[in-house]
Amino acid sequence: MSRRLGILWTALIATILAAPIAITIAGAFSRSPWYGLRSEGTPVQGTGELFAYVLGLWGGNLLRSLQIVAVVAPLALLLGAPAAYAFRRRPFPGSRWVEAAAVTPLAVPGIALALALIETAGGAPRFALLAAGHLVYTVPLVVKTVGNALESHDPRLEAAARTLGAGRIAIVRRLVLPLLAPALVLSALLVFAVSWGEFNVSFLLATPSVQTFPAALYLTYTTNSFPVAAAATLVFLLPVVPAVAAIQALGGAELQRGAQP
């Protein structure tokens, strides 16, 4: 009895969480006469035309977000993964402190970081500043994910490889990297999911010519009609849904700490 009630309660909460998404998706495909010509002044009547219109409006932002992810993802892995390896396998005096410091930025509000970056490096190219802001919130996720993975592997494997005559490069290439491959894939997905939706840092750092897609979402939510806003939301969700599904399948618990709403 109580089991059934618990499942019902869970289903109710999941439904409440899913309902607004379902309504929004329906809004992008509905054709109601009171929308007029999708109330945008241009003949955006079919669904295909609606999405073409949205991409025409915000295509630049979409491209910018993709560029940011393309720059941030490899950099975050290169900064975070070797450090995580050091913290677990080659600890040095003070490494516990560095590790704690490395994950602390996750708790710092994005707008505070944005202001601090503007005040100190406001003259830097805005794309670099945006990438820097995204790195601050994604590198900690890589450190955590790779660190957790290393913790679950037996460190004596590497010692065994060494006694069998494997050099450092061989150990990294043929033992450590293959063992860490799932964690590295998970890290890259987390970086993507966080960077793709990042708004709190990006909005203050953005300029009219260098804006990410969530900034476009803000503009479309405040200026466009509901079908256009819904279509833009759908464009945002399209890569997020498979990414989150894959993160869940790989057991990525860091997402609930990483993404700042």
Partner 1 sequence: MPAGPGRRRREVTAAAPRGRRSGRGAGSGAWSGFLLALPLMLFLAVLVLWPFSHLVAAAVTAPGGAAFREVLAAGRYRNALVNSLLISAAAGGTAVLLSLTPAWVLARERFPGRRLLRAAMALPLSFSGVLVGFLMVVMLGRIGAVPELLRWLTGRGLLAGAAYTSAGLFAAYLYFEVPRAVLTLEAAFRSFPSDLDAAARTLGAGLGERLLRLRLPLLAPALSSSFALTFSASMGSFGVALILARRFTVAPVEIYTELTGFSNDAVAGALCLLLALITVTVDRLAAARTGRRKPP
| Residues between 42 and 81 that touch partner 1 (CB under 8 A) | 78-80
Looking at the Cβ atoms of 44 and 150, the one nearer to partner 1 is 150
Q: Are 140 and 260 in contact (CB under 8 A)?
A: no
Chosen residue from 54, 61, 87, 186 binding partner 1 by CB under 8 A:
87
Q: Quick one: which of 48, 80, 37 has its CA closest to 187?
A: 80
Q: Is 214 in the site for partner 1 (CB under 8 A)?
A: yes
Looking at the Cβ atoms of 43 and 167, the one nearer to partner 1 is 167
Looking at the Cβ atoms of 24 and 47, the one nearer to partner 1 is 24
Q: Are 103 and 143 in contact (CB under 8 A)?
A: yes
Looking at the Cβ atoms of 46 and 242, the one nearer to partner 1 is 242
**Residue 257 CA: distances (Å) to CA of 105, 119, 138, 187, 214:** 11, 27, 11, 13, 19
Task: Classify residue 203 by burial, with Cβ atoms within 10 Å: 0-12, 13-18, 19+.
Answer: middle
> Of 40-48, 54-62, 66-74, 150-158, which segment contacts partner 1 by CB under 8 A?
150-158
Residues between 219 and 238 that touch partner 1 (CB under 8 A): 221-222, 229, 233, 236
Tokens 């790989």 identify what position? 250
Least distance to partner 1, CB of residue 224, Å:
11
- In the 8-state DSSP scheme, what is residue 104? G
Residues between 94 and 113 that touch partner 1 (CB under 8 A): 95-96, 98-113
Chosen residue from 71, 204, 246, 250 binding partner 1 by CB under 8 A:
204
Least distance to partner 1, CB of residue 231, Å:
12
Q: Cα-flanking dihedrals φ and ψ of residue 207, to 5°?
A: -115, 165
Distance CA 141, CA 150 (A): 14
Site map for partner 1, 159-178, x if CB under 8 A?
x--xx---------------
